[in-house]
Structure 1
Amino acid sequence: MTAAGRGLGLGDPERENAVLLGIIEATASGPGVEPLAAAVARMITEATATDVCFVHVLDDTDTALTLAGATPPFDARVGTVHLPLGHGVSGWVAAHRTPAVITDDKTSDPRYLPIPELRGQDYTSMVSVPMLSEPYGLAGVLNVHTVDRREFGDRDVRLLLAIGRLLAAALHQARMHRRLRAREQAHERFAEQTVAAQETERRRLARDIHDGISQRLVTLSFHLDAAGTLLGHGDTGGARTELACAAGLVGTTLDEARAAIGALRPPVLDDLGLAGALAALAREVPELDVRLDLDERRLPDHVEVALYRIAQEALQNVQKHAGAHRVVVRLADDDGGVRLDITDDGGGFATHGGPPGGYGMASMRERAELIGGTLRVRARPGSGTTVVVTAPGDTEPIDEESARNTRLSD
């Protein structure tokens, strides 16, 4: 017999108090999202006499829900079910911040979207409520289902909303804890990468200087010595030939020196500022129609370097992968900070409710975090991609060593 068929249900004050107390205790047990969601799902089904419970949590992109907790047998699906906001009953509840009750005949409800992994056709009645808390806002959606037809009343919805509020606050704390831990790990990885990059760059520069600039300077000194000797013997023609060779070597050596300096810090930033440097980047991709909307104000050096490198990586990604024709680059004030948007009209890609991967994307995200900012990617198949970077305009580097390593790795 199903839970609903046993005659138990919401509306019993003792059961309501018990489940609320249990959830409060569960929220105090630790910061893990999945263990908390799983524990709450079990408590809700036991206390409300429903058959299954799903806890869908808003992901870090704020654009989709991810199944974070469920009662068996659906606990095996945790982390694999993603639902964009606005899609399905749960997506509708999340988008509208409003409960939804379906007593029967789900398929006739325009909000209903079958999710094969969750076997919605096996359940007749359901309640879906947003998990909301102040001041954090939406944390996700809480769903309960019954096999047998069941009339869920206002008191049932109010209790689930109260459970949702308790759970929302804990989920937001868990989310913040996860983000902080992820940022710490990103900084640790970035520190390791910058140290390795610093040593690699030092070896490369030493090799380039030895094999290129140093050798050319030695050869230059030979030509100058030869020119002096020839002049001493009155051979002005030979001296002019040696001096011409020396002048050519000077030009080549200067070009190599400029290239070495440019690898450390783009001179265009010093000459033109970030807006001018971004405009110069746009001219380097003539195969793309790059539209610019750039705020001309100057920013701290380390912020300009980070944003320039992020834009450089993003444009390279568009060239290599997007199949785009047009790109819009915007640099604007953002409540005293700065915001960089790079939008293309290419093929886009599916994020599956999570952040896209790839070394280039990870590098951009770590650069943004190192200046105290964030990087978000909005993409859908066939609808292009937007990279959004926001950062404080007056931020300082995390520390002097990190800032120095960032400049060297650039």
Structure 2
Amino acid sequence: MTGGTPADALAGRGNDLLVRIVAVACSDRELPRMAEELAGLVVRSARALTFCDVYVLDEDGRALEWSGPPVPLGEGDVGRAAAHGRTRVHTDGRGAAVPVHSGNTVIAVLDVRSAGPCAAEDLDLVTALAELFAPVLCSCRRLRTAREREHAAEWFAERALEAQEAERSRLSREIHDGIAQRLASLGFHLSAAERALPEHHPEGLAQIIIARGLCELAAAETRAAIGGLRPPVLDDLGLPAALATLAREAGGGPAPSGPLDVTVTVEGELEDALPDHVQTALYRIAQEAVGNSQRHASASCVDLLLEHSADRVRLTVTDDGTGFSVRDVYAQSGRSGLAGGRPGLAGRADRGRRPDSYGLRGMTERAELLGGRVVVTSRPGVGTTVEAVIPIPGRRASTGGSATVAEET
């Protein structure tokens, strides 16, 4: 650059160039789209440049990324310009690699080419533009780093949940095929012993009856443990059928306000089955929501809607119960979206901890671990709606963020 500020180099180009620079800088494009826009701006603004490539330093600071293979730091004119922080004119004189500085650090390189010898005024322009592009590219790099870390955290959470569900399934199978079968056999033999014992041994008969009762209790606890580790109905029938089974069980079980009418609607189809950990999370959210509606809301109807789309699954649970004040529930917590008192889904907003309800915290955490969200809508006397949206791994689009959202209407 012959001297002066970037504004001096651009002064003779007219206001149109400055307007284009501002427009690109203020756009919401991310890397690599932003790099492409800046490269096009360089070519359109210069007198005789035929093309421009923008190379951006990666997070590790070891290579420069662009539309082609990464260029290691210090390799070629682009790599050397980044490593030494100085413009390198190409040996044929038809262009140069111009570093983009952010403080004392090179964050990118503008590599320009021309049909003939590169004009000094074009090189001055590129140098000026490199200085103006620095804040834009710096922000894009920070955003890229934040997104990569977010995706890495989501990937780790998904792998951890997959491993957890695999281990739960393994334990569930082992308990079912081992302890549960042994208890069933023990119960059979105790019944046989009870029938075979002579009537003049009342004490022995009483002990066998007690032992058989304990065996039946242990078998029931074992079945509950298997269901807690992983609901067998999910493995046997899949999520839609599991929700239908949940609806039948809830409708036939006791409720403070009388029988509960639970309906299940499934919309859309998926090319592939949902991963086990996603199915389990949605089933548990539905289970908690229906259970709280049944126990605390004085509801007569609960509607479950499961919607499949290309990149996400949505579960909506709506009841006609007493509802509660979402604002009051969240006022008990120091963090929005997590109720410290763990209130019931569709019950009143109790001030204390409710051990009988997993509540908003449990549903929220299950969804957030999978990069999804939970939205709760309720007010006293109107009922409650819980909406859980979970992205499908590998087809993730924006779900509006992973933070829990709660709203009172």
Q: Which TM bucket (shorter chain)?
A: 0.3 to 0.5
Higher relative contact order (CA 8 A, sep 6+): 1
**Whose Rg is larger?**
2
